[in-house]
Amino acid sequence: MAGTTPLGTTVLFNSTTYSDILDVSYSPGSVELIDTTDLSDTTRTKVVGFVDIGTVSVTLNWTASDYDQLVTDADGAAHTCTVTFGNATTSTWSGQGVLDIPGFSVSAGSGVSGTITIQQTAAWTFTEGS
């Protein structure tokens, strides 16, 4: 899913839809392994700890009101997020996540853009359009 940006991709976070999407990337989580080796062991022993679900990064161009809404939504609570891919089948990827407050950059000719990071709180569901 990394780097998927078909034309027309939108991101709905909480109740706001963002449409000037430049990039959507997924960084999968990992399973924490806890070392339980003691002096009686001849090899390392481990047990499974917590699972990190992963993060979704969305790079987009935004306006001042978009940025204000992003800051409002970065309240530490899990909100619904849906990525709608702008292909002919209109596939979606959705779930719950917590928004990190975004940074931004300004470049000539492209306006203000930045990357928001959504920390997934559970596995997301991919629905293939028809």
User: Residue 129 and residue 5: Cα distance in Å, rounded?
Assistant: 16
Contact assessment for residue 86 and residue 4, using Cβ atoms and an 8 Å cutoff: no
Q: What's the pLDDT tens digit per position in 58-87?
A: 988 888 888 889 989 999 999 999 999 876
Average pLDDT, the chain: 85
Q: What is the pLDDT of residue 61?
A: 86
Q: Does pLDDT of 1 surpass 60?
A: no
- Range list of H helices, 18-115: 64-73
What pTM was computed for the model?
A: 0.75
Q: What's the pLDDT tens digit per position in 48-61?
A: 888 888 899 998 88
